[in-house]
Structure 1
């Protein structure tokens, strides 16, 4: 059975869609699991560090605009579609991102150099090389509206590119390495996260060479009650909601955050999962993220109602983030950030879910780690007729 269509950004080709609700989101179960989605590699030796033990994992996952194709990148230096495997043994592969064609991607290198590559999946050829970074690219995003894309690197820069030109069209110099980048749905603005200062800077795309028009401070007073000095927040990803109102801040610890996209305000703290930076379930968390963090382990659903995130215990956690501003304390006391506990946890993923992504057009969830799993709502049971009705495509008026 094909996955049901689901709410997302409105467009001419995406009219008859519906919205998720608590009943459907809690019914998701693995429908198809690919156990050979990444080469296992040789077994670890006794002299290997704990962070390097264990099988190779999928490190990145991406759906195309239509939700009909998905691609993964693995530590085995392959990028894979469900029925096709391509190799990048010389350069490695990370952060695969579809362009607006399902037959082409851009991706970052993990060795040899720090060039970003534009690759044709149809004939397995490079279409363009984007050179300029002098450090590994750790964040890469394609513009949702045109051929632009941007990258953040350990060389302390953010570069803005266009698929039609090998030379970057803009550069932001930052004080610390590893900035994170994210576009809003209309590509009118973009955000840059800087971990050393725990700041998110929001820029006008048309005036990126000017100062950011908004700077958001990630200040969580509750952390001072746990350790002193407080453990810093280490961001691993930034994601705008499709309506641009919120920014989801993925973090390596035991909490993620949602901030206001138009104001310097933390709206909610998402807790209940186990952060992937730990070496094991009984090991203490480290400040720096360990192997297992991908920056893709948490995401919004397309209708912005829920956040889904991976966890070290192998479950996928679901947080209800509807009506966030109604959950704010009176006058929004800066010392009191609303904590949202999981609505539900989805069981069925083998091992920690390193990547969690919801299909942008259909009611399908993908999770990846040692294996790749596709999830669909299970419509069996007493509520089958009701659930089928909820999943049925609405007819345009």
Structure 2
């Protein structure tokens, strides 16, 4: 964890310049001491801020590539899953690793928080048991098993409003689950590798495959999609589909290296960004910034890119922080001026104010 000092210095630089992340709890405590201030200001995300971002801290003690990560919606926790068969919990505000749990028997591929900050759902990666598991990170106990898929789970999304989730598998099914029941509550058949996601309200979910995004009413999914949107003839495997926080936009990544941004109400394809394609076993990840104004994406060559949703132009790019080839996992932290990437190490990216010549603050 050699970047800890640099990370803390960057945080101090924010404090001394009277800045707070939009996610204000990031600065509530520093080394156990509460930071008191008479004025609270926020730093608006802009192209200049994005261009200044660099790795503030990294964790390099992984023995395999990170396959998945998730930020908890209301706490400062981050969870990762890795090919070294570990699940790791971090407190981002403190910059510390809290716990490592090994899943040697089942392996681990995808991981998502439930509403509780120390309870997760994760998928297996052992090739013989495709069950999903509800795990308490607090005491390392399995609370429930979810059995139904017969091939690798490649997409997982939890509803933010209810204790339900959906999973998509290479067995060409999408299953709907209630966290309180072991058997699935619904089944959808698809004709390809599915990418799935709930919207922020939990009222709608999207299923993408075969060049189209299908929109379902979560309360009446059995009636089929209420809308079907085209993504410009791109029929390569869908990797990730996500909604912006306000639900107005969706992004879809595909194996051919395309990142599509779609108007989720009209179905209009707004823009397509191109990066290096990924292999059949890899996943091209992308994420909206919290305000929905920017997209960040990984690339098959390990690079990271950012684009403006408004103009469609590239804003910034970064070479991989490691020598790894392949797309890193990438997630923007909720309500914060920070994103994380995961490859053979976990990295937190924050703005470096010393690179910014002029900026505007709002009280």
SS in 2 for 1:290: coil
Equivalent position of 2:87 in the other structure: 79
Q: What is the correspondence of 1:173-322 to structure 2 with a 5 Å cutoff? A: 173-174=189-190, 176-195=191-210, 198-220=211-233, 232-271=235-274, 273-275=275-277, 277=278, 289-291=279-281, 293-295=282-284, 297-322=285-310
Aligned 8 A contact 2:48 2:356 in 1: no
Equivalent position of 1:151 in the other structure: 167
Equivalent position of 2:344 in the other structure: 370
TM-score (norm: length of structure 1) = 0.75
Aligned 8 A contact 1:109 1:115 in 2: yes
Deviations 1:136-188 (A, max 9, x none): 211111112121111111222211111112122222123x2432111111111
Matched pairs, number: 322
Rounded Cα–Cα distance in structure 2 between residues aligned with 1:244 and 1:18 = 23
Rounded Cα–Cα distance in structure 2 between residues aligned with 1:177 and 1:125 = 34
Shift of 1:32: 0.6
Task: Extract unaligned runs of 5+ from structure 2.
Answer: 1-7, 15-19, 25-40, 90-96
Equivalent position of 2:314 in the other structure: 342
Please, what is the CA RMSD of the aligned residues? 2.3
Q: Does 1:61 align with 2:74?
A: no
Higher strand proportion, which one?
2
Rounded Cα–Cα distance in structure 1 between residues aligned with 2:280 and 2:337 = 32
Aligned 8 A contact 2:52 2:355 in 1: no
Aligned 8 A contact 2:340 2:347 in 1: yes
Rounded Cα–Cα distance in structure 2 between residues aligned with 1:134 and 1:345 = 39
Shift of 1:18: 5.8
Deviations 1:103-145 (A, max 9, x none): 1000111123111100000001101111122222111111121
Task: Extract unaligned runs of 5+ from structure 1.
Answer: 9-15, 40-55, 221-230, 278-288, 328-339
Rounded Cα–Cα distance in structure 2 between residues aligned with 1:200 and 1:207 = 17
CA gap 1:381/1:114 in 2 versus in 1, 3 angstroms: closer
Identify the match of residue 134 of structure 1 among 150, 158, 161: 150
Q: Which has the higher contact order (CA 8 A, sep 6+)?
A: 1
Equivalent position of 2:354 in the other structure: 380
Rounded Cα–Cα distance in structure 1 between residues aligned with 2:113 and 2:353 = 31
SS in 1 for 2:353: coil
Deviations 1:272-323 (A, max 9, x none): x323x2xxxxxxxxxxx334x235x21111110100011244331110002x
Shift of 1:211: 2.0
Equivalent position of 2:47 in the other structure: 22
CA gap 1:381/1:242 in 2 versus in 1, 3 angstroms: closer
Aligned 8 A contact 2:193 2:238 in 1: no
Aligned 8 A contact 1:35 1:371 in 2: yes
Rounded Cα–Cα distance in structure 2 between residues aligned with 1:119 and 1:58 = 19
Rounded Cα–Cα distance in structure 1 between residues aligned with 2:42 and 2:181 = 36
SS in 2 for 1:139: strand
CA gap 1:18/1:187 in 2 versus in 1, 3 angstroms: farther
Rounded Cα–Cα distance in structure 1 between residues aligned with 2:266 and 2:307 = 22
Rounded Cα–Cα distance in structure 2 between residues aligned with 1:365 and 1:67 = 15
Shift of 1:348: 5.7
Equivalent position of 1:43 in the other structure: none
CA gap 1:168/1:381 in 2 versus in 1, 3 angstroms: closer
CA gap 1:115/1:382 in 2 versus in 1, 3 angstroms: closer
Shift of 1:381: 4.6
